[in-house]
Amino acid sequence: MTVQRTLSILKPDATERNLTGAINAMFEKNGFRIVAQKRLRLTKEQAEGFYAVHKERPFYGELVSYMMSGPVVVQVLEKENAVQANRDLMGATNPANADEGTIRKTFAESIERNSVHGSDSLENAATEIKFFFTDAEIVG
């Protein structure tokens, strides 16, 4: 196994409920290092661009509005096998299907307001990290 970096987003439902620390405590407890982090409000262009892969899905418009509805925290997580490890810790997209102990089972409100984003492949992780961070902003 090799050390990887993956993009994580704490979504507006998490910032709204003041859960950024509680969620990041779960990441750190599970061995992830947060090597880059910023809090921002996504513009329409950023939200649409980030989720462009879902453009044809029926929930795309609502997803874009939701992601712009409050602050988000974008961050880079580092760990061995970080991409899959983060997906495992996040749990299923729909919290109703998420395993006990996962972030989404613990905190998510619905299939849309599911508290966290995580890259789904090493290739997408690299693209998504570049979407938000320059190399100089990542400090391992």
Residue 126 to residue 6: CA distance in whole angstroms: 7
Q: Which does 24 bind (CB under 5 to 8 A by kind): ligand IDP, Mg ion, none?
A: none
Rounded CA-CA distance 131/6 in Å is 12
Pick between residue 112 and residue 120 the one whose CB is nearest to Mg ion. 120
CB of 4 to ligand IDP, least distance (A): 17
Choices 1-9, 12-20, 62-70, 117-125 (CB under 5 A): range interacting with Mg ion: 117-125
Q: Which of 85, 95, 100 is nearest to 29 (CA)?
A: 85
Stretch that binds ligand IDP, among 2-10, 69-77, 114-122, 129-137 (CB under 6 A): 114-122
31 φ, ψ (degrees, to nearest 5) = 90, 5
Catalytic residues: 117
Given the complex with Mg ion, which of 22 and 53 has the nearer CB atom? Answer: 53
In the list Mg ion, ligand IDP, none, the entry touching 112 (Cβ below 5 to 8 angstroms by class) is ligand IDP
Query: Nearer Cβ to ligand IDP, position 131 or 137?
Result: 131
Phi-psi region of 40 (alpha: psi -120 to 50; beta: other; left: phi over 0): beta
Closest alpha carbon to 20 in 75, 81, 67: 75
Hey, which residues between 93 and 112 contact ligand IDP (CB under 6 A)?
A: 93, 111-112
Return the structure tokens found at 41.
């409000």
